[in-house]
Structure 1
């Protein structure tokens, strides 16, 4: 079985606590305390929503589901006294412009959740292994 590798490079910027993630020719700016950039919790929500949207667009014909348009709203919650570093809860809602009935919409969203790689990584333990540390002079 072939193995596919995905790579991202994250670098610091000239602003304190601001970073840039690069994937191929795409760049996203992140910061811990700036309304002009994306925070790490928001990035998780963006990745999840985008992944499920891609699944829906890719599999709608195969799943015999039609829509004119749709959008996602995602909400991450974190209690002030939470012991977790990540979010305590993620809420996902999809809003369809469709003639399909509510049950079929629910089934299609469930299909997207079960087919989305980001959801899989959020709900199942994925081994994360540090592959190296380099000191640059």
Structure 2
């Protein structure tokens, strides 16, 4: 397979409520009340964690057979730390995650060494994790509507 381009569009619907569309799918994002939202949906950083967990959860069954793993169940719990002073411009710190931790719950009869190799492989082949861990070229343009 060659390079494939994916697209998504995010539109601010109300204060912090954002409608996101990709292909024929829609996902809403909001902030909790403690951050000024109305708490109708996950916030962007929770969605990033969910995107990472979703990607890892898709990579797992894709490659389980390669590692001779009978995958009976797979769940990943993710948590990350952000210094909100960066977002609120109160301190000279990064506004994004500075630490993300994953805990895998894997239901299988495979041994610990095989599962450890499998987890290392899935982490190395998860596109979302790769994007988080490595610098990505980013460019932008803007249009003004009056």
TM > 0.5 fold call:
yes
Query: How big is the shift at 1:2?
Result: 4.3
- Highest RCO, 1 vs 2 (Cα 8 Å, sep ≥ 6): 1
Secondary structure at the counterpart of residue 6 of structure 2:
coil
> Which 4+ stretches in 1 moved above 4 angstroms?
none
Q: Which residue of 2 aligns with 1:22?
A: 21
Q: Which residue of 2 aligns with 1:116?
A: 126
Query: How big is the shift at 1:101?
Result: 1.4
Q: What is the alpha-carbon distance in structure 2 between the residues aligned to residue 88 and residue 115 of structure 1?
A: 21
**Between 27-36 and 4-13, the greater mean CA deviation after superposition:** 27-36
Establish whether residue 134 from structure 1 lines up as the match of residue 143 from structure 2: yes
TM-score, L = length of structure 1: 0.90
Count of residues in correspondence between the two structures: 135
Q: What is the alpha-carbon distance in structure 2 between the residues aligned to residue 81 and residue 21 of structure 1?
A: 26
Structure 1 gaps of 5+ residues are none
Structure 2 gaps of 5+ residues are 32-36, 87-92
Aligned Cα RMSD in Å? 1.7
Query: How big is the shift at 1:43?
Result: 1.1
> Where does 1:58-77 land on structure 2 (aligned, <5 Å)?
58-77=62-81
Which structure shows the bigger proportion of residues in helix conformation? Answer: 2
Query: How big is the shift at 1:34?
Result: 3.7
